Structure 1
């Protein structure tokens, strides 16, 4: 996922929420497509996801200021680092889908904003306040509840492998978002989206020697579909931030839990377990606490800036 746009030229919370809900829905469908193409390696799936999204992203750039202006960058290095970390997160996430039910993968991924709080404190020097600490601990308790049944069958099991891959994906995604946060104000959202897709497409080719397969007609349809809806999801997600603040939209990302449960049940015959449901509640609760706290801190900082501005008049 990408950072919010630097400004909100046309505030419209209802439209922003609608676009966010649409993005969340599309991304859940994308994960289902990748999961359904079970025979296709994660690196190959990442290639199709990245390449098939490019035409949609290019059309979007053309209609939103032009390609040259949209992909202009001030730091190739920053995009490269963010792209490598984000690509690894995507690849591990796709691999984890092969071993765990879709709802559990979705629930574990919700640890990303929690890990991001820790990494932002370590890398960006953000203050690690009591509320944040409590939310982080609550979130990790939820993760333990979710993964405990999978780990109890043995560290070497496929379930444990799926847990490791998905947790690794969530942590790397958090690191990628910290890098994006550090790039805020220096790089446009369109450039971040474009160069990430380019980087992930190139890096996916490194996995060719590790066993790509020739996809069947059904698998090819799923892979192309994943790329198309993934590109559409990026556009919907990025567009949502033009109409509402990130703090307002963040809670609506948890709707993906409902979609993953529904899709997992209908498509993959996956029934959520009690531990997954309880653990997901803890993780989602921790995420909501963090979001609400960040919004409160943002309002306080805005108020302080207004007071300082008046004092200078």
Structure 2
């Protein structure tokens, strides 16, 4: 049955989803600095599963068909290592800079969508991605030019680039998942697969958190579930190439939360890059979208 949603609604929901995940990053940075990226990631996934699994089951959730389960396993596995490397990068880099560098993912995903999903990449979507990417280059250039490179910087850069490559693939998997599963099922398996994979190493690497850290991770889990469901809902109703540039708005959220939580300064290159990113998002929002059904 065709959807009757307002054509801009997927963009607004995507914006909200990105905001929730950016706030989650702020909570997870604090937790990762306290107990390590691995322990924080294990707790987030486990709590996320406890939150969303009852919702999925109460809504009549059933074990997925093999081809759907394969998608859940693929995304859950790639998301596990994507998140782990990203949270590690947050312990080495400011949130805004880490988010900015990760914006190479939407650029890559734009063309993966054409290869793997058969989507036609419009000129408008290409210009949107180019502007967004140009904004990140301005920001990164300002960052590297303002301080001397050290081991932490290079480790952080390596981790965020690896995470971004996996993130690009995740965009495609989200689009494929959203066509065959409801958001609550997508969110359940997203957290569940990650909890199982990370839990395998718990006897050797897990560190018990303090109460404050546990509360922060709890908020992270709640925001992860909310963000995952929001993105799954939006990607079921618009093409990946149209929604992907909205990810660039994550820098705006990251700048805000980085300042609020860690007093991370916003520099002039950051402001200049942000302007380009916002323009790219505006262009993407004006691109024609395609309604989908589930």
Normalised by the shorter chain, which TM-score bucket? 0.7 to 0.9
1:141 maps to: 134
Q: Is 2:265 the counterpart of 1:271? A: yes
Shift of residue 21, structure 1, vs aligned partner: 5.3
Over residues 168-218 of structure 1, what are the superposed CA-to-partner deviations in whole Å (9 max), with x where a residue is unaligned? Answer: 323311211213334453444433322221111112124447743222222
Q: Is 2:158 the counterpart of 1:164? A: yes
Task: Check 1:82–1:259 CA distance in 2 against 1; reply closer, same or farther (3 A cut).
Answer: closer
215-224 or 281-290, which deviates more? 281-290
Shift of residue 130, structure 1, vs aligned partner: 4.7
Q: Is 2:65 the counterpart of 1:73? A: yes
Task: Check 1:52–1:165 CA distance in 2 against 1; reply closer, same or farther (3 A cut).
Answer: same
Over residues 13-44 of structure 1, what are the superposed CA-to-partner deviations in whole Å (9 max), with x where a residue is unaligned? Answer: 79777755554443232111111121222222
1:56 to 51, 54, 62: 51
Classify the secondary structure of the residue corresponding to 1:100: coil
Task: Check 1:215–1:169 CA distance in 2 against 1; reply closer, same or farther (3 A cut).
Answer: same
TM-score normalised over the length of structure 1: 0.75
Q: Is 2:222 the counterpart of 1:228? A: yes
90-99 or 273-282, which deviates more? 273-282
Task: Check 1:40–1:280 CA distance in 2 against 1; reply closer, same or farther (3 A cut).
Answer: farther
Task: Check 1:270–1:17 CA distance in 2 against 1; reply closer, same or farther (3 A cut).
Answer: same
Alpha carbons 1:50, 1:200 under 8 Å: kept? yes
State the alpha-carbon separation in 1 of the partners of residues 81 and 131 from structure 2.
27
State the alpha-carbon separation in 2 of the partners of residues 258 and 159 from structure 1.
22
Equivalent residues, number:
288
Over residues 134-184 of structure 1, what are the superposed CA-to-partner deviations in whole Å (9 max), with x where a residue is unaligned? Answer: 444444333322223444556653123223322332331121121333445
State the alpha-carbon separation in 2 of the partners of residues 209 and 274 from structure 1.
46
Q: Is 2:29 the counterpart of 1:35? A: yes
Task: Check 1:236–1:120 CA distance in 2 against 1; reply closer, same or farther (3 A cut).
Answer: closer
2:80 maps to: 87
State the alpha-carbon separation in 1 of the partners of residues 157 and 172 from structure 2.
23
State the alpha-carbon separation in 2 of the partners of residues 259 and 184 from structure 1.
25
State the alpha-carbon separation in 2 of the partners of residues 188 and 215 from structure 1.
33
Shift of residue 110, structure 1, vs aligned partner: 3.7
Instruction: Map residues 271-290 of structure 1 onto 2, 5 A cutoff.
Output: 271-290=265-284
State the alpha-carbon separation in 1 of the partners of residues 180 and 11 from structure 2.
26
**Aligned-residue CA RMSD in angstroms?**
3.5
State the alpha-carbon separation in 2 of the partners of residues 268 and 175 from structure 1.
30
Larger C-alpha radius of gyration, 1 or 2?
1
Shift of residue 112, structure 1, vs aligned partner: 3.0
